[in-house]
Amino acid sequence: MLPPITTIIENFEIVEDEHMRLEYLIELGRALPPLPEALRIETNRVHGCESQVWIHTAAEDRDGTRRLALQGFSDSFIVRGFVALMVAYYDGKTPKEAAGMDGLDLFRQLHFGGHVTSKRSNGVRSMVERIHRDAVQLAA
């Protein structure tokens, strides 16, 4: 199970060593609950990622409020860590809240921009765009 996004951010702020940050990212990917094979379908596939990435976005009632329920997976350990970051960031938000959020801000806040290949950065951008599009549709 993933820790809350606030804990993840705090942990990244503590760890300065790039190798350890990468290890923590991979650990987050391992903590990501598995995405059932039945949800690894083309409609859930995120295009624009070098690795294979699937994100399933649904809305569910939590305490009388409609909230996003995200699941994801990647065949790459590092990218799976980025999927975990996005799931932790957006999961549980209302569709309207999620539509107004920018996961790329989190990516920059955690200082991944300069230490990640441009292809992986583009992949994260594609994940954010996909989640945003799904949130807007669910908010309508």
**Domain range annotation of the chain:** 5-139
Bridge partners of 68, per DSSP, are 59
Stretches where the chain sits below pLDDT 70 are: 113-119
Bridge partners of 61, per DSSP, are 66
Contacts of 95 (CB under 8 A, 6+ apart): 59, 66, 67, 68, 135, 136, 137, 138, 139
pTM confidence score:
0.93
pLDDT of residue 123: 86
pLDDT of residue 116: 65
Domain 5-139 has CATH 3.30.930.10: no
> Which of 119, 121, 92, 120 is closest to 104 using CA atoms?
121
pLDDT of residue 59: 94
pLDDT of residue 113: 62
Neighbours of 95 (CB within 10 A): 20
Q: What percent of the chain lies above the pLDDT cut of 70?
A: 95
